[in-house]
Amino acid sequence: MNKEKIGGLQLFYLMAGYVLGTAIILGLGLDSKQDAWIFITIGMLSSLILMAVYTQLASYYPGDSLVQMLPKIIGKYLSYPVIVLYILHFTYSAARAGRELGDLIVTTILSETPIIVVIGSFMLLIIYCLRGGVETLGRMAEIIFPVYIFSLILIWVLLFSVDQFDIKNLTPILGRGVKPLLKQTFPVAVNFPFGETIVIMMLFPFLKKQQYARRIGMSILLVGGILLTINSIMMISVLGPEIYSHDIFTLLSATQMVSVADFLERFDALVILMMVAGVFFKVGAFLFGAAVGISQLFKLKQTRSVLLGLGSIVPPLSLITASSYVEHLEFGFKVYVPYVHTLLQIIMPILFLGIAFIRKKMGHI
Amino acid sequence: MRVIRKLSLLVMSVILLTGCWNRVEINDIAIVTAIGLDLVKGDEIRLSLQVALPSKLGPAVGGGTVGKSTIVISETGRTVSEAYRNIQGKLPRRIFFSQSRVLLVSEDLAKKGVSHIIDFHTRYAEPRINSFIMFTKGRASEILKSMPRFESASAEEMKELAKQDLGMKIYVRDFLNMLLTDGLEPFAPQFSLKPLEVKTKDKSGEIQALNGIAVFKKDKLAGWMTPVETRGLLWIRNEMKAGIITVDVPKEKGGGYVSMEIVRAEAKLVPAIKHGNLRMTVKITSEYSVIENDSKLELFETKIIEDLQEKVENEIKDRLQLVVNKAQNDFRSDIFGFGQAVYRKYPKQWNTRYKKNWEQEFAQLDVSIDSKAFIRRIGLIK
Amino acid sequence: MSLFRKTTKLSSKKQKSQQNENQNQPESVLLSGRLQDDFQQIKQLFEAAGDFVYREIEITPKYPAVILYLNGIINVERMELHVIQPLLKHEAGLLPPYPTIDHFKALLSAARVTLGETFQEAIDHILSGSTVLLINGFQKAIFISEQAWEQRSIEEPASEATVLGPREGFTENVTTNISMIRRRLKTSKLKFEMMKVGKLSNTGVVITYLEGIAEPSILEEVRSRIERIEIDAIEDSGYILEFIEDQPFSVFPQILQTERPDRVVGNLLEGRIAIIVDNSPFALIVPVTFFQMMNSPEDYFGRFIMTTFIRFIRYLFLIVALLFPSIYIAVTTFHHELLPTNLIFSVAASREKVPFPAVIEALLMEITFEALREAGLRLPRPIGSTVSIVGALVVGQAAVEAGIVSAPLVIVVATTGIASFMFPSYPLTGAIRLLRFFMIFLAATLGFYGIFLGVFFILVHLVQLRSFGVPYLAPLAPFHFNNVKDLLIRVPWWMMNERPQETGKTNLKRLRYRRRKY
């Protein structure tokens, strides 16, 4: 039914960029201070189990997206509200990523520009891209991701030149003991950004070689997680644990410290580029997931008009949900990620897998 | 679809055409090269900005009148940003902080506390977090007004001076880090004007100079350290990168001095808890190369070199002891990061026992200095 | 703006060949065999055509005949020698008493002699430079092909000059052009499919490909797209180009225009298809990718290490040509903090007296530069260089001194101008120049954020673009590792053992070994 396909490598690029997306700019595990990298590693490793759940579900219903398989798992009528919940989740998450981009741009480089213009123009780009379907998204990922990784590694290399770079900032490892760290880790570290890869279940049907789904899913988390871990180590080494936990845009402030030979400095633009690219992956994948979900739910032939609708909803949505950036972050990290994410990304998929497993045993597939 | 396409085109062009919210031409900004902060009338802040005059700075077009390349403009306010708004009222151009790399704070203000200054400087997007923070004994605005000798603006000279490895290089960000980190108190270089030439009749003028450091307790100035003491601090903070050490050769051996250049220096803070008592050992390892021999010593002999090494070790030990004593007794401020070292090695004990009253603990801390010196080279002649 | 255009779906619906649609002409009416009738009918058609020449001769009294041709496009001397002389002065007895048309044909000593039996054929032959011989009593006409017309000699291609490699370029004569290709590929696999396009012009269009290497589906697509062209006249291959392009509203050229036979051959070998149009020195090559446009034919003649280096420079300056003015605007009006202190002083100093905002200043300069370029092109060559010197040096210098524009901007615009001439493909240069203005607007609105958005927009557009079904950014997106060998780097020839994935699938292997065999 789907003529357009996405290659395995393209999916990997897209989703790895998606995992890094906003997380790399915002910094993860800020409260864990020097143990942030452990926080990320634990989050990544435990999310591998989640990915196993997602891919197992996908392998039970080959060729079906999450929206298509749900009626088969929990029945037609029960599935509707659940599907709507997922669509809302994807849409709202896209709006959140857009808001984060907008706030970075507005607080750092364009302080007098209305944030709606920043988010709106970005959304135009996303719609223009998604109109081309999954193929365009995949190819964009193919072009942007290498640039993205190159910029990231370039920044890391430059960070070594910073005088304040001190790997000792990572000590003492687990200074406050394991328990408080674990308490912070679950479920936040698993949910953001790793658990968000649930959107990959909307993309699996478009994959060219279905048999590699699990391998791709796992490598996305591993690569994304390892890069995030290295990044947090670099950030803490340069900024020190205290500033790391204080800063809102850690990568940006670390990059501002770079000064090679008094000439190679001010790489802020590179960070802005990375943010635009990262959010591009993130909003692109979320919005695509939502659009495909809606069109499959209502059995529409094309997703184009859905996209336009969603695209015009997202910018206002990203702004009205929080009046200030503080409120946005607070709601995100105190309510949305711990509770809603846990429900939609951990509890429900495991539940679905259980039901699907029983159904398979009973031969009702 | 066609309608939608046209609509989105329209939206885009509207965005494009009505835009330019942040657009400020480069000739409409007042480029701040240095920021100075003083305390006036007891509780008001006076913000002085050294602003570049581009027409005097660029390549001389049409004649090239040589005049002052910068002006200093100041205004008062209760907070830094208030003073900043007040200055803006006097300037025909928009104040632009991002090129400023120097933040000068006067003594009176530093004594009242600097955390709000640091906050403004790190929170507001324009000022760069890697500008140098320095303190002055006199008025900051006076130093801003000094004439540049080498660079186009005196702020550039300050920046270049701060970058040299002679003294401490403290960014605003470092200051903030020291402020936030437990078991580490902030310090920053002291900046002053010094005569160009010394002990001559010719008083040709003044030049900026780094002159010791300002020691803080929390965000308040606790006192000053002399350049010699500063070098001791550099040793302990493991930031000794270049320098000369001169040892006295005793009379019985012929007298005179031997000067050596530091090739490599490394310091390690080793805390140890023994029977519930905290001890701090500062381990210094350094390597030298002789650059001046003013004595009768034959340096081409192992024994004499060993002798010299011992002298160097003692010299360093004395210097460091002096600094440690001063910090412990006079300032009661842990600028060395001893507390941080303890935390890194004994996080549990630190959290439970030392963290709360580190100030007292630090003052009574048993510090021993373990110095090792190696003279690797003796230069080009025997 | 083309950015919102949807990809045209490929379809290979056959349409009626338009050649047969000429309704004004006596379509496939057979010749009557009565000389006077046939002759009068043709003569009527060419009534006011001043170049129409006829000559009535008598081969034998029984067989009067008429020779018809258009003056100026046939070689009259050869025609006299090989047609008129043999007919008039044939030795008696060569013709049997009741000769067939073949007997007459045998008399002629011309190389290409064919027969036809309709008016249409006769007229077509006259129009395309053949001599038509009508003989009384035969329902067939003899066509003698002795075309010759004034034509330009083979010259060095002006738009694609190289230091190394062959120096001949296509001319306006399709036969010459074909011969130039044939000389380079001496194989029967090389095919030239002839077609006629244009109701009035009847221009010859030749589809050239290598059988067994070219992708049959693409070939079929090319054929059907050309067949569907409906126009009165084709003056140049550029007409065809606009008709068959995938996305006519894109600024990016999706068909390569070249006047170099070696470039055509190189592309044929990679499985692509060339379209040669009569009266046009530019051959069209389909399908092409963006990266191909960035490659100069010289890349393949020089040594690969140097080529690779040059390609890096070229891509670097692609970015310069596209973004330098917009980055300058973004930095001087939005992100002053990104400039080093000393640089900001000198930029600020030079802008002190300039009355315009940086955007206006940049637009002014860019447009002036475009005007200079265009003027230099129009003027006769000796004056052209004077204009550019006067324009660039004198006006620029005066403008800076008068304080109307700032010196750094002149540097920016000049660098950009030079950079935009680095690309081997002239149409691509145009695309970059246009997009530069788009980027300047974005940079003036949203600074660096705008620049990044603009670049992303362009990338999305490029990624969606196709040339005859082949993704425009192949082999980068979709990625093919093997083809990257001829992308940014160029590996030596002996390592290029495969044809490009997109066009050479049918016959992928190019070399047997991926190494040198000695």
Using the structure block, give the residue that is written with the tokens 């990997």: A12
Q: Show which residues on chain B lie within 8 Å of chain C, measured between beta carbons.
A: 1, 5, 8-9, 15-16, 19-20, 22-27, 29, 31, 33, 52, 54-59, 61, 96, 98-99, 101, 126, 128, 152, 156
> For B98, which of C4, C337, C345 is closest by C-beta distance?
C337
Alpha-carbon distance of B298 to A279, in angstroms, equals: 70
**N-to-C CA span, chain B:** 90
Confidence of residue C164 (pLDDT cuts 50, 70, 90): confident
Confidence of residue C24 (pLDDT cuts 50, 70, 90): very low
Q: Which two tokens stand for residue C378?
A: 């129009």
DSSP letters of B203-241? ---EEEEEEEEEEEETTEEEEEE-HHHHHHHHHHTT---
Do residue C463 and residue A136 have CB atoms under 8 angstroms apart? yes
Do residue A280 and residue C456 have CB atoms under 8 angstroms apart? yes
- Is the pLDDT at C320 greater than 90? The verdict is yes
Q: Measured between beta carbons, which residues in chain C are less than 8 angstroms from residue B14?
A: none
- Strands in C283-286's sheet, in edge-to-edge order, are C190-197, C203-210, C273-277, C283-286, C256-258
Alpha-carbon distance of A279 to A21, in angstroms, equals: 5
Confidence of residue C439 (pLDDT cuts 50, 70, 90): very high
- Is the pLDDT at C206 greater than 80? The verdict is yes
Average model confidence (pLDDT) across chain B: 82
Q: What is the pLDDT of residues B299-315, one digit of tens each?
A: 778 888 888 888 888 88
Which of C247, C339, C344 is most worth mutating to test chain B (most B CB atoms within 10 A of its CB)? C344
Using alpha carbons, select from C350, C328, C345 the residue that is nearest to residue C403.
C350
Using the structure block, give the residue that is written with the tokens 């440690």: B324
Q: What is the pLDDT of residues B95-140, one digit of tens each?
A: 888 888 889 899 888 888 888 888 888 888 888 888 888 898 888 8
- Is the pLDDT at B11 greater than 50? The verdict is yes
Q: Measured between beta carbons, which residues in chain A are less than 8 angstroms from residue B186?
A: none
Select, from the ranges B25-34, C21-30, C482-491, the one with the highest average predicted confidence (pLDDT).
B25-34
Confidence of residue A244 (pLDDT cuts 50, 70, 90): confident
pLDDT at position B13 is 63
> For C346, which of B15, B58, B101 is closest by C-beta distance?
B58
pLDDT at position B10 is 66
- Is the pLDDT at C13 greater than 50? The verdict is no
pLDDT at position C7 is 36
Q: How far is A364 from chain C, CA to nearest CA, in Å?
A: 39
pLDDT at position C3 is 37
Percent of chain A at pLDDT > 90 equals 34
> For C345, which of B5, B23, B152 is closest by C-beta distance?
B152
> For A139, which of C340, C453, C477 is closest by C-beta distance?
C477
pLDDT at position C462 is 93
State the amino acid at position C398 in one-letter form.
A
- Is the pLDDT at A311 greater than 90? The verdict is no
Using alpha carbons, select from B134, B119, B110, B126 the residue that is nearest to residue B32.
B126
C36-53 b/e (C-beta count within 10 Å ≥ 16 → b): eebbebbeebbeeeeebb
Do residue C345 and residue B58 have CB atoms under 8 angstroms apart? yes
The answer to whether the beta carbons of residues A51 and A217 sit under 8 Å apart is yes
Mean pLDDT, residues C319-338 taken together: 90
Percent of chain B at pLDDT > 70 equals 89
Q: Who's near A16: CB < 8 A, 6+ residues apart?
A: A145, A219, A220, A223, A224, A227
The angle subtended at Cα A188 by Cα A187 and Cα A192, nearest 5°, is 120
Alpha-carbon distance of B42 to B46, in angstroms, equals: 11
Q: Which two tokens stand for residue C267?
A: 């592309």
Which ipTM score applies to this complex? Answer: 0.93
Alpha-carbon distance of A332 to A23, in angstroms, equals: 13
Average model confidence (pLDDT) across chain A: 88
pLDDT at position B3 is 65
Q: What is the pLDDT of residues C354-383, one digit of tens each?
A: 888 888 889 888 898 888 888 877 877 777
Q: What is the pLDDT of residues C223-268, one digit of tens each?
A: 999 999 999 999 899 999 999 998 888 999 999 999 999 999 999 9
Q: What are phi and psi of C279, to 5 degrees?
A: 70, 15
Percent of chain C at pLDDT > 90 equals 25
The answer to whether the beta carbons of residues C246 and C467 sit under 8 Å apart is yes
Q: Show which residues on chain B lie within 8 Å of chain A, measured between beta carbons.
A: 1, 4, 8, 11-12, 15, 19, 21-22, 125, 128-130, 163, 169, 171, 173-174, 176-177, 180-181, 343-345, 347-348, 350-351
- Provide the angle, in degrees to the nearest 10, between the axes of the packed helices A133-159 and C426-464: 100
Mean pLDDT, residues C313-325 taken together: 93
Q: Show which residues on chain C lie within 8 Å of chain B, measured between beta carbons.
A: 1, 4, 6, 332-334, 336-337, 339, 341-342, 344-352, 354, 357-359, 441-442, 444-447
Q: How many CB atoms lie within 10 A of CB B360?
A: 11
Is the previous residue joined to C478 through a cis bond, with omega within 30 degrees of 0? yes
Output the CA–CA distances (angstroms, integers) from residue A293 to A88, A217, A285, A296, in the order listed: 10, 20, 12, 5
Average model confidence (pLDDT) across chain C: 84
Alpha-carbon distance of B293 to B258, in angstroms, equals: 5
Domains and CATH numbers, chain A: 8-351 (1.10.4160.10)
pLDDT at position C452 is 93
Mean pLDDT, residues C483-505 taken together: 82
HEC per residue, chain A: CCCCCECHHHHHHHHHHHHHCCHHHHCCCHHHHHHHHHHHHHHHHHHHHHHHHHHHHHHHCCCCCHHHHHHHHHCHHHHHHHHHHHHHHHHHHHHHHHHHHHHHHHHHCCCCCCHHHHHHHHHHHHHHHHHCHHHHHHHHHHHHHHHHHHHHHHHHHHHCCCCCCCHHHHCCCCCCCHHHHHHHHCCHHHHHHHHHHHHHHHHHHHECCHHHHHHHHHHHHHHHHHHHHHHHHHHHHHHHHHHHHHCCCHHHHHHHCCEECCCEECCHHHHHHHHHHHHHHHHHHHHHHHHHHHHHHCCCCCCHHHHHHHHHHHHHHHHHCCCCHHHHHHHHHHHHHHHHHHHHHHHHHHHHHHHHHHHHHHCCC
The residue that leads in pLDDT, B62 or B155, is B155
pLDDT at position B231 is 84
A131-169 b/e (C-beta count within 10 Å ≥ 16 → b): bbbbbbbbbbbbbbbeebbebbeebbebbeebebeeeeb
Confidence of residue C4 (pLDDT cuts 50, 70, 90): very low
Using alpha carbons, select from A348, A341, A288, A293 the residue that is nearest to residue A57.
A348
Q: What is the pLDDT of residues A6-50, one digit of tens each?
A: 888 999 999 999 999 888 887 787 778 888 888 899 989 999 999
Confidence of residue A3 (pLDDT cuts 50, 70, 90): low
Output the CA–CA distances (angstroms, integers) from residue A344 to A39, A338, B241, C256, in the order listed: 21, 11, 55, 51
Q: Which of A101-105, A151-155, C47-51, C455-459 has the lowest mean pLDDT?
A: C47-51
Q: Who's near C394: CB < 8 A, 6+ residues apart?
A: none
**N-to-C CA span, chain A:** 20
Do residue A143 and residue C463 have CB atoms under 8 angstroms apart? yes
Conformational region of residue B80, where left means phi above 0, alpha means psi within -120 to 50, and beta covers everything else: alpha
Q: How many CB atoms lie within 10 A of CB C307?
A: 21
Confidence of residue B16 (pLDDT cuts 50, 70, 90): low
- Is the pLDDT at B196 greater than 80? The verdict is no
**N-to-C CA span, chain C:** 56
SS3 C386: helix
Q: How many CB atoms lie within 10 A of CB B237?
A: 16
- B116, containing H or E segment: helix B115-123
Mean pLDDT, residues C99-107 taken together: 83
pLDDT at position A91 is 93
pLDDT at position B63 is 41
Q: Measured between beta carbons, which residues in chain B are less than 8 angstroms from residue C332?
A: 25-26
Q: Which two tokens stand for residue C338?
A: 């990104």
Q: Which two tokens stand for residue A6?
A: 């996405």
SS3 B250: coil
Alpha-carbon distance of B309 to B299, in angstroms, equals: 12
- Is the pLDDT at C26 greater than 80? The verdict is no
Q: Which two tokens stand for residue B30?
A: 């007042």
- Strands in C113-116's sheet, in edge-to-edge order, are C52-60, C63-70, C130-135, C141-145, C113-116
Using the structure block, give the residue that is written with the tokens 């803070």: B269
Mean pLDDT, residues C398-418 taken together: 87
Using alpha carbons, select from A195, A225, A193, A183 the residue that is nearest to residue A349.
A195
Confidence of residue A2 (pLDDT cuts 50, 70, 90): very low
The answer to whether the beta carbons of residues C397 and C266 sit under 8 Å apart is no
Alpha-carbon distance of B378 to A264, in angstroms, equals: 37
**Helices within C200-260 (DSSP H only):** 216-227, 237-244
Alpha-carbon distance of C446 to C438, in angstroms, equals: 12
Alpha-carbon distance of C489 to C305, in angstroms, equals: 8
Give the chain B residue whose CA is nearest to the CA of A170. B344
SS3 C134: strand
Q: Who's near C125: CB < 8 A, 6+ residues apart?
A: C116, C132, C143, C145
Which residues sit opposite B259 in a β-bridge? B246, B292
Do residue B31 and residue C345 have CB atoms under 8 angstroms apart? yes
- Is the pLDDT at B20 greater than 70? The verdict is no
Q: What is the pLDDT of residues A121-145, one digit of tens each?
A: 899 899 999 988 888 999 999 999 9
